[in-house]
Structure 1
């Protein structure tokens, strides 16, 4: 039986790898890397560095261009479904062609594969098709959410209060009702700048765990212009941005 690991490799610092992840990397014969756009070659390079440090002798790396997603269409859910189907087609072909019976394959996923990532769903889809039989397991990783809280020396929750994790697309529709602490991911449009800043603080982080890390915190009204300037400068320099932030109502609630 073929075996596949879906391995969370942390937010960007090679030291984010857990011992469980290191052991799984050391047991893997074939690593599948779905290349993104050219702007992110430094992330691919970081993956390869991890493999050089922890991979077993003779391991193989199979890289292929990732399926493209239509990000302009208003039919967001349909576009994501179509992208996942094409991604599953690609993964099924790669596994069939490059992973032999009895071998271990792996996908290295930034952060935690259980949080806003499609690899688990795609691998599960391929498994259910039954064309290429394999077993698989998921290795959790340090998410950008956990890294953000740690770098700002804060907690995500406060006594008796929930925390909500959402996306920039959802935040643009308005600050969620009934919660005081909101973590925002996948925000390509700086949605924090479009909401009422009254009574809100922000803990912001970009490129967490990397040499390019950007950290800003403070009242949203004061911090938002600075964050927008920093993130635009960083995007121009690198060609892409990966950021996460915590919005918190600053009403004196104590940390949990």
Structure 2
């Protein structure tokens, strides 16, 4: 990140899928240079997400850092207009984040957002910061620090490659998978699947994980016809127990 005198600076730091040991040296150094950490509270059911961030901050930050919390706006999880709903939520979220930056980050100070997994994969922080800059009322420079994604962590836990020799793979969402298997690929990584869309493909193999890298980690693998019902049941029980769930899986068509 270019150091410009008088300009506020922000790091968007990927902190991994849940294991504190996922933190890279680059991320640890950025945390050590941070004056203000911005945290968004998602409610009591997701307090564990805040707790891990605070644990990382305590381990790698300097004694004079400040932690500022804002309330993450609520959004409809089953909207009729998905794209419009997300756009509205991002705008409301950007207003919360802009207020935090303008009120709590001084000139020449550095602020940080600690992002689950990797900031470039199904995370809104980069787009939100760009939206704030486009409005032109709050200025800052920012840098993205990559992290270990849930996709990488999932493959490592199952000891599998994401692609087969000479073949592509695709990362998509449960919403898209429910519309049909993507064309041109036999290996599909699926995130954000509240519908358990994998149950439509009983002959495929699945490598599934939830809360990967945390003490609550759950793993399952096998032919969907054999393990699909178990995954659906386990997922439902875990969500009821924790109040939230983060899961990812790799679907693989059998080789012909």
Contact 2:70–2:97 (Cα < 8 Å) also in 1: no
User: Match for 1:130 among 136, 142, 145?
Assistant: 136
Are 2:202 and 1:197 aligned? yes
Are 2:37 and 1:34 aligned? no
Contact 2:71–2:96 (Cα < 8 Å) also in 1: no
1:249 CA drift (Å): 1.0
1:71 CA drift (Å): 2.2
Are 2:125 and 1:119 aligned? yes
User: Match for 1:239 among 228, 240, 243?
Assistant: 243
Match of residue 224 from structure 1: 228
Contact 2:39–2:113 (Cα < 8 Å) also in 1: yes
1:251 CA drift (Å): 1.2
**Moved >3 Å (runs of 4+):** none
- Alpha-carbon separation, structure 2, partners of 1:72 and 1:10: 27
- Alpha-carbon separation, structure 1, partners of 2:125 and 2:102: 17
User: Match for 1:174 among 175, 180, 199?
Assistant: 180
Matches within 5 A, 1:201-216: 201-216=205-220
Contact 2:201–2:224 (Cα < 8 Å) also in 1: no
1:143 CA drift (Å): 0.2
- Alpha-carbon separation, structure 2, partners of 1:236 and 1:249: 31
Secondary structure (helix, strand or coil) at the match of 2:64 reads coil
1:14 CA drift (Å): 0.3
User: Match for 2:70 among 61, 64, 69?
Assistant: 64
Question: Residue by residue, what CA displacement relative to the aligned partner does 1:197-236 show, whole Å, maximum 9, x if unpaired?
Answer: 12x1000000000011001011111010111111111111
Are 2:92 and 1:86 aligned? yes
Match of residue 48 from structure 1: 54
TM-score (norm 2): 0.95
Are 2:139 and 1:139 aligned? no
Question: Residue by residue, what CA displacement relative to the aligned partner does 1:128-183 show, whole Å, maximum 9, x if unpaired?
Answer: 22212110000000000000000000111111211100001111112212210000
User: Match for 1:187 among 185, 190, 193?
Assistant: 193
- Alpha-carbon separation, structure 2, partners of 1:57 and 1:21: 17
TM-score (norm 1): 0.95
Structure 2 runs not aligned, ≥5 long: 1-6
